[in-house]
Amino acid sequence: MNSSPSVAANLSNEARKSLAILSLSKSEPIAHLADREGVSRQFIYRQKQMVVEALDNALAAKDAGALFYLPVTEAWLDQLALALRCC
């Protein structure tokens, strides 16, 4: 049984991001990329999927709903009108 950590487990975040970007660019087949880096194809597909999901979330249409609710009462409007007259 091999107790040493895998190559993929030792990759930095930057290296993982770089692999995902290379897989998205389709500049070379996933199998070649995996062989060159010493990781599995499944690892690269997972990294690629995470980047695709992050891009989808970043580029998704934002909800145009209200950011907060501010109840306005008649008393509050009276105070506002008085404050604006005094200025």
pLDDT (average), residues 60-80: 85
User: Which stretches of 1-87 are DSSP H helices?
Assistant: 13-25, 30-37, 41-59, 74-86
Question: Rounded distance, CA 17 to CA 49, Å?
Answer: 11
pLDDT (average), residues 63-78: 85
Q: Cα-Cα-Cα-Cα dihedral of 9, 15, 19, 22, to 10°?
A: 180
3-state secondary structure (DSSP) of residue 32: helix
Measured N-to-C along each axis, helices 41-59 and 13-25 cross at an angle, to the nearest 10 degrees, of: 80
- Is residue 53 within 8 Å of residue 35, measured between CB atoms? no
Dihedral over Cα of 56, 39, 16, 7: its sign: positive
List pLDDT tens digits, range 8-36.
Answer: 889 999 999 999 999 999 999 999 999 99
Domain ranges of the chain: 1-61
Q: Check whether 75 has a pLDDT greater than 90.
A: yes
pTM of the model: 0.64
In this prediction, residue 2 carries a pLDDT of 52
